[in-house]
Every structure is written in structure tokens, then in C-alpha cells.
Amino acid sequence: MAEFKQTDQTKVRRLAERGKYDHETVYSILDEGFICHVGFIATDGRPVVIPTAFGRVDDRVYIHGSAGSRMQRMLATGIDVCITVTLVDGLVLARSGFNSSINYRSVVIMGKATPVVDPEEKARALYLFSEHLLPGRWDEIRGPSEKELKQTSVLAIDLDEVSAKVRTGPPHDDEEDYALPVWAGVLPIEVKFGEAEPDPKLADGAGVPEYVRKASRKRNNEGTKN
Amino acid sequence: MAEFKQTDQTKVRRLAERGKYDHETVYSILDEGFICHVGFIATDGRPVVIPTAFGRVDDRVYIHGSAGSRMQRMLATGIDVCITVTLVDGLVLARSGFNSSINYRSVVIMGKATPVVDPEEKARALYLFSEHLLPGRWDEIRGPSEKELKQTSVLAIDLDEVSAKVRTGPPHDDEEDYALPVWAGVLPIEVKFGEAEPDPKLADGAGVPEYVRKASRKRNNEGTKN
């Protein structure tokens, strides 16, 4: 099983048994997530955490934004960045608050961003953002214009220093607490697409395309990914 | 309408019309979120972003963890911290990739954490974590022991430098794109509780309590909060 290396920064220390470094776990979490949280140090020296969309291909993650955005401009200079993707799967209801927990899967990526300037890689990254969120969409929409490509900043971060942390399963209670008359278990949290809401400016009678309808009835992670 | 002050760091500059500073918007986003992403600068000088649970009361947010965790120990020293809560509401499917977007509500809090040492405030914070995730649970579970309280680090961050950013509604396309034969609209993303999964170690016949069953049938934000 191919694994990412464990470094001082990425090695999971607390509850080390939750640490995962294999490619499959890391990829599956990244591919199911809708957004990542990007951490960097602002010019005033303070940490900032901003949510944004992302895409992945092989061992590379892409984020994008307006060429004028502060985050894109700062990250493009090659400062350190941390990208975290978290999926929340359920409330773990133990017999005590202390042993209660959350089932989750998260990935933490540390590194530096590289601006994507090659037009082909940039176009491919934009395709990825779209297909990551809704497979099939890219074929229908208008492609990017020269001007739009210039206005869009795409950054690549390699999956080099990366680790996952995963908690699954029922609560782990203290031995003596199992006798308590307290209901215990897991309350799953599900992320689903709802019914598509047509744009009010859409021509009357325009039906919802199949790739949108099908997406609306299944979890994102059951979609076709990579 | 009571508002948080806008500072150099919290003022939303890109797409400034999405910036919100009123208490109601900030509180409602924080109260609907399950987890926050905590950003800080590690001892090696690099930014780190870690997901964790949180609770809020008035203008104060609490996070907690093992007294031995790196994050809790570092934050307790009073270093700068950024806490971000993001709710993803839908995919905004425009007629071009460039105008496609995501409907979301996020809150960014900047400040410093203060360790909660007062036993009463600490107990109240633990109650908040529980009730924030599942109202009604606290009454049923075993309360914290002296030893557990000692093993738990609770940190408070005041809502002082805080802002929200919100995107809602249909796509905004370029005028000439409205004539394209492309379906457009919003694909809502819903976060729901699923059916409760009893702990395999639970006594046979133990029914799922009403506050768990009811929670499993509604969105978290429709629950009783505050």
C-alpha cells in the first residue's frame, strides 16, 4: 500500500492510531470534500484560515480565485500554506461527555503553492474544479475566455507532507459506564444534494439535465470520481 | 442591528457586498456549524489548520481538547489564532465556469485564546459543546469527573475581530451568456442527521431517546439553539 512519508509536522501524535498515510485514504477524503480550509500567515504576522474550493489530480491539489484576491497573491509568492479538508460523518454519543466524540475524516496538507502559468495545466485545473463538484457539468457550460483565464489565479500544492486522521465506529466508554442506563451509539451526519433549483432567468420548460438530477439523489462520494 | 467592528483584518474586501458584520448573521452561522477550523503558527513558524468541535455563548467561543494536545498547549500560551466556521449551502451552476460559484456562509474569528480555569465556566463550556451538537443529550449522560476535568483543556476566544461572508441565490451570468442553451441554477447541499446507530454494546431493547430520534429527522439549524 503506497504511503506518504511521515514528517515531524504531519505525523499524528495524539491518538496516533487515527493517523493514516496511505494514498487511498488521503485521495478518498480529498475527492469527497467540497471545500478546503487554507491557512497562511498574513502580512501582519497573524494566521488566517479561509475556505475555498479545490480539485485534485494525482499528487497535486489545485485552488483558484480572482487574480486580485489577497490570498491568491500572497500564496503565489511561495509562503508556507496548510490546506485542511474535513468530512464530518457522525456524532459519537458515549455514556459520558468525556468519551463522546465525532466521527470524521480529515486531511492536512503542508507545503508551498506554485502559480500555474502553463495554459494547458491551468485549463485542466479549471476542468478539475468543475468536475470535482459536479461531474458532467464541464461539457455543457461555456468554456473560459482568454480574459477570464487572465483574471483567474490557479495555484498548485503538491501532496508531499500530508496525513489523514480518521475516527469511525461506536463510542468507547469507560468499563464501569457500560452499566449506566444511558442510550449510546452514533448519529450519522449525511451530506446530500437536494432538488435542483432552476435559475429564475432560465427559459421556461428547460428540463434539469440528467447529470444534475442524478447528482441530486446520491451522496457526492458515490459519484464518479477519478 | 448590533454589529461587530470592522478591522483591517476582518473587513471583507473581495466581493465586499458578501461581508456581514451583524451579530445575528455571525451567531446563526456559528450555531449551525458542527466544527470549526483552527489556524495557528506552529513552533517551526509554519501555519497549521486543525478541525475541532466548538461551542458559543454570547460573544465567546469555546474549543476544547486533551490537556496534552499540541494545539491546546500552544494556544493556551496566548498566540494568535484564527477560527473559521464554514457552511456549504449549494453549488451555483452558472452558464460559464467563470461565473459558477458556491453558496456558502462562513465566519472568520481572529484573536487569542484564554485558558478557562474557573471550574464553573469550564463545566458550562463542556455543557455547551454537548448541547451545541445535540440538544438534550447532557441531561442523560454521566457528568464529568474531577480527573476528566483536569485532563480536558478548554479555551475561550472572544468574538471581537469577527466577520461573516455569505453568498446566496442564483448564478449571475454575463449578459450575453443568458442566451446560451445551458441549464443553470442552484444544486442545494443539505446536511442531515441519518438514522441513529445503537452501540453494539447497548442492552437489547434500549429504545432510541426522543431527542436523538427527533434530531435525526431535521436539519441541525432547525433545532432548538440558544
Locate the domains of chain A by residue range: 16-190
Give the distance from residue A194's alpha carbon to the nearest chain B alpha carbon, in angstroms.
5
Residues on chain A touching B153 (C-beta within 8 angstroms): none
Q: Which pLDDT score is estimated for A218?
A: 56
Q: Tell me what the mean pLDDT of segment B207-226 comes to.
A: 68
Is the ipTM beyond the 0.95 threshold? no
DSSP labels for A171-215? ----GGGGGSS---EEEEEEEEE---EE-TTSPTT-PPPHHHHHH
Instruction: Please determine, for residue A200, whether its predicted confidence score (pLDDT) is greater than 50.
Output: yes
Q: Which CATH architecture has domain B16-89+102-169?
A: Roll (2.30)
Question: Whose CA is closest to A92, among A194, A8, A152, A15?
Answer: A15
For residue A200, which residues of chain B lie inside 8 Å, CB to CB? 170
pLDDT by residue (tens digit) across B120-164? 899 999 999 999 999 999 999 999 999 999 999 999 999 999 999
DSSP letter for A146, please.
H
- A173, A187, A191, A204: best to mutate for the B interface, most B CBs within 10 A: A187
| Contacts with B61 from chain A: Cβ below 8 Å | none
pLDDT for residue A219 is more than 70 = no
Q: Which residues of chain B lie closer than 8 angstroms to A184, CB-CB?
A: 198-199, 201-202
Decide if A64 contacts A155 (C-beta within 8 A). yes
- Tens of pLDDT, residue by residue over A124-176, are 999 999 999 999 999 999 999 999 999 999 999 999 999 999 999 999 999 99
Residues in chain B within 8 Å Cβ distance of A192? 189-190, 192
pLDDT at residue A225 above 50?
Answer: no
Going from the C-alpha of B75 to that of each of A211, B18, B138, the distances in angstroms are 45, 30, 27
Amino acid letter at A14? R
State the residue for C-alpha cell 438530477: A213
Q: Which of A96, A110, A193 sits opposite B188 (nearest CB)?
A: A193
Considering only the beta carbons, identify the residue of A48, A96, A196 that sits closest to B142.
A96
Using a CB-CB cut-off of 8 Å, the residues of chain B touching A92 are none
Comparing alpha-carbon positions, the chain A residue that sits nearest to B213 is: A187
pLDDT 10s digits, B22-57: 999 999 999 999 899 999 999 999 999 999 999 999
| Interface contacts A/B by beta carbons within 8 Å | 285
Q: What is the pTM of this model?
A: 0.93
Q: How many CA atoms lie within 13 A of B13 on its CB side?
A: 9
CA distance A85 to chain B (A): 9
* Average pLDDT, rounded, for chain A: 91
CA distance B58 to chain A (A): 22
Q: What is the distance in angstroms between the Cα of B23 and the nearest Cα belonging to chain A?
A: 20
Mean pLDDT, residues B14-18: 79
Q: Quick one: A16-190 is in which CATH superfamily? A: Electron Transport, Fmn-binding Protein; Chain A (2.30.110.10)
B144 and A96 in contact by Cβ < 8 A? yes
Percentage with pLDDT > 90 across chain A: 81
Cβ neighbours of residue A225 closer than 8 Å, sequence gap 6 or more:
A31, A32, A132, A135
Report how far residue A155's alpha carbon sits from residue A64's, in angstroms, rounded to the nearest whole number.
6
- Dihedral over Cα of B176, B178, B184, B185: its sign: positive
Residue A198 pLDDT exceeds 70: yes
